[in-house]
Chains A and B, each alone.
Chain A
Amino acid sequence: MKKTRLNEYHQKLGAKMIEFFGWEMPVEFKGIIAEHLAVRTHAGLFDVSHMGEIIISGKDALAFIQHLTPNDASRLAQNQAQYTALTTPQGTFVDDMLVYCLSPEKYFLVVNASNSDKDYAWILNHKAGFDVTVENASDAYTQLALQGPYSQQILQPLTDINLAEMRPFWFAQGKVSGVEALVSRTGYTGEDGFEIYTISQTPGILWEAVLKQGKDYGILAIGLGARDTLRLEAKLMLYGNDIDETTTVLEADLKWVVKFKKGDFLGRDVLQKQLDEGLRRKIVGFELLEKGIARPRYPVFIKGETESQVSSGTFSPYLKKSIGLAYLPLEQTEIGTEFEIGIRDKRVKAKVIPTPFYKRADKA
């Protein structure tokens, strides 16, 4: 198994380690519920170094990214990032990702750990005709995420970067605890927070400094278990569960990511057609109306007939109820629609509810 550069720190903290797509990662430290609630009410620090980083540079970098993705990267100013996807010609997902504009000819793509090799190969396979260099920098980077309402108070004393001025999805490069890093106001939890990227060979300095600085604010180290429950409450997609090469960007309820007017991109025609003809199915959020927990791949029944499967599901630690996501036929996607989920030998009632399940109180 691959190990991040922070592995020994997790072992020292007594983390429960698991294998995650070839990586040895902490699934929990103090406990999933305690960690989840810490991020919602105080702060949490995640090691997400398993994620992939791909750098695209050259004269045609922007044109190449525009071709590969549905969002409009030409809108990005230097030091700005956007959520987007690598789409297939069918308008489905090779991956979802963030694109950071380092400069007009240099873009930093942050992709899912489970897909980093696949994405790199995909990008290489599509670069013919574009004057670009593509670098897979995944192994070089350590990535931390500091998330929660106290994130800025905790991080500011450690860095020369002005965090108060950093708007969501913007970033800057500077020093954090003396370590060169890129800091972006991004995250995967639905809270305010920062992601910190560094190629330093001693990123442990950063990890320990943030935990130390955050101690008085109630910071906890957070594992992959709480990472999943947090992102689900915020209705953020998880590749492999909610989106994959069989789901289109529109079916995934991500129409806002698709900027048809920007020009052609892989999958544009199929998505335009879907928009014109109407979707046949769409992902929705649901809650259970009876006791139980809906988990990924549990069957979904509409009027007694098997329809689809739960794509994501858990017991929400903050909302204290069972929630989840599933693709339903369009005519069943209205809020309030009731259906059933098969949990072992029982059929448990569920209801379509608005998403995100959790939204933080508006941040300045």
Chain B
Amino acid sequence: MMYPGDFHYTKDHEWVQVKGDLATVGITEFAQKQLGDVVYVELPAIGTQLEAHQTIGVIESVKAVSDVYSPVSGEVVEVNKELDGSPELANQDPHGKGWIIRLKIKNKSEIEELMSASDYEKFLEGIEV
């Protein structure tokens, strides 16, 4: 599975794509496979201030409730309302249409602490049986 090269990744299987001072966040292909069929996504309110590693909200599959953590600090400026009616987008297109929130970020240097696509792929090799 090729993970997008312009994304950065966390150990909790979130990705973030930064364009200017806007960051889009979602969960990775690995995460959606682990979760199974997503049936509900709890999104934060617009304007919420998040710190890196803070809980954005919750993603629920039939069997599990999973916290989603923000990879970077910032203010929530947009949430993916499509996930309300079609939570399965998180399974079908986790790196694209299944994005979760957009943040106006404070500190671009936080990105440096995250994994690159190749680091993330190596990380996955370490955990997959």
A-to-B contact residues, CB < 8 Å: 16, 27-28, 31-34, 225, 229, 291-293, 295, 314-315, 317, 344
Contact = CB atoms under 8 A, between A and B. Distances in A.
Contacts of A34: 37
Q: Specify the main secondary structure of chain A where it touches its partner.
A: mixed
A293 B36 contact: no
Interface in B57-74: 58, 60-63, 65
B58 A317 contact: no
Contacts of A229: 62
A292 B87 CA distance: 12
A344 B60 CA distance: 13
B40 A292 contact: yes
Contacts of B37: 31-34, 317
Contacts, number: 36
B62 A291 contact: no
Contacts of A28: 36
A344 B39 CA distance: 17
Interface in B26-61: 36-37, 39-40, 42, 58, 60-61
Contacts of A293: 39-40, 60, 65
A344 B36 contact: no
Contacts of B40: 291-293, 315
A32 B63 contact: yes
8 closest A-B pairs (Cβ-Cβ)? A315-B39, A33-B37, A32-B62, A32-B37, A31-B37, A293-B60, A225-B63, A293-B40
A28 B61 CA distance: 12
Contacts of A16: 36
Task: Give chain B's interface residue range (CB within 8 Å of chain A).
Answer: 10 to 19
A33 B93 CA distance: 17
25 contacts: A16-B36, A27-B63, A28-B36, A31-B36, A31-B37, A32-B36, A32-B37, A32-B61, A32-B62, A32-B63, A33-B37, A33-B39, A33-B62, A225-B62, A291-B40, A292-B40, A293-B39, A293-B40, A293-B60, A293-B65, A314-B62, A315-B40, A315-B62, A317-B37, A317-B62
Contact of B65 (A225, A295, A317): A295
Contacts of B65: 293, 295
Nearest to B84: A291
A225 B39 contact: no
A299 B76 CA distance: 30
A28 B65 CA distance: 17
Contacts of B63: 27, 32, 225
Nearest to A34: B37
Contacts of A31: 36-37
Given A32-B37, A291-B40, 19 more contacts: A16-B36, A27-B63, A32-B36, A32-B61, A33-B37, A33-B39, A34-B37, A229-B62, A291-B84, A292-B40, A293-B65, A295-B65, A315-B39, A315-B60, A315-B62, A317-B37, A317-B39, A317-B62, A344-B58
A31 B33 CA distance: 10
A33 to B, nearest CB: 4
A160 B32 CA distance: 44
Nearest to B33: A16
Contacts of A295: 65
A291 B87 CA distance: 13
Nearest to B67: A344
Interface in B1-47: 36-37, 39-40, 42
A27 B63 CA distance: 9
A241 to B, nearest CB: 14
Contacts of A317: 37, 39, 62
